[in-house]
Amino acid sequence: KAGVTQTPRYLIKTRGQQVTLSCSPISGHRSVSWYQQTPGQGLQFLFEYFSETQRNKGNFPGRFSGRQFSNSRSEMNVSTLELGDSALYLCASSDDYRTSSYEQYFGPGTRLTVT
Amino acid sequence: AQKITQTQPGMFVQEKEAVTLDCTYDTSDQSYGLFWYKQPSSGEMIFLIYQGSYDEQNATEGRYSLNFQKARKSANLVISASQLGDSAMYFCAMREAPGGGATNKLIFGTGTLLAVQP
């Protein structure tokens, strides 16, 4: 099976711009979660999508949004970028927690730098 | 509130020796899952091992084993026969399942940086 893919891998944006990151989960996985990793805050949960519905959301401002498509691919969008949004954004793919394969597998991440 | 604590910011181990990375957790839920991930300098998070709260046996995956002590709320990772390639950051995480609800949200600890010395 192919692993979780994230595009782009690296991104440099300017303050005030917006950005869209993409995540393609493992084939058959219906849950996609997003995490932000920074040196200061560590790994923080952004949101989770399951079958095109947001199932859970972390404590991030409304500038952070996401969506999931019918093929389970997910995108996250950050509008009006701030310097503090510079981070590694990780996407995790999983089958539903009620199944036997509930391990979560992460993609390689998108490293976003805001200047 | 659910919380994961990793008290070892960094550790050294000699190649071929075993090492234990500590993880304690706090939750009032009866149903939860515990994970360990490895993050090399490249940044990707590599799944190592999973332990469910109702699993009676400690989980093992090759050289990785999870020492699960439910009463003490600890889930330590044991790596046997350390290799140079094991040098990385290691994260302990817990899946929230409040009331058995539907979510795959993970709460992470701050990580332990392991350095394997030749």
pLDDT digits (tens, 9 = 90+) for A71-115: 999 999 999 999 999 999 999 998 765 654 467 899 999 999 999
pLDDT digits (tens, 9 = 90+) for A10-58: 999 999 999 999 999 999 888 999 999 999 999 999 999 998 999 889 9
> Hey, CA dihedral for B52, B105, B76, B15, is it positive or negative?
positive
pLDDT in tens, chain B (118 residues): 789 999 999 999 999 999 999 999 999 888 888 999 999 998 989 999 999 888 889 999 999 999 999 999 999 999 999 999 999 999 999 987 655 566 788 999 999 999 999 9
Chains A and B form CB pairs within 8 A to the count of 68
CB contact under 8 A, A96 and B43: no
Interface contact B64, partner A, CB < 8 A:
no
Token pair in block for residue A45: 């949960």
Contact call for residues B22 and B91 (beta carbons, < 8 A): no
> Across the strands, what pairs with A114?
A13
Interface contact A43, partner B, CB < 8 A:
yes
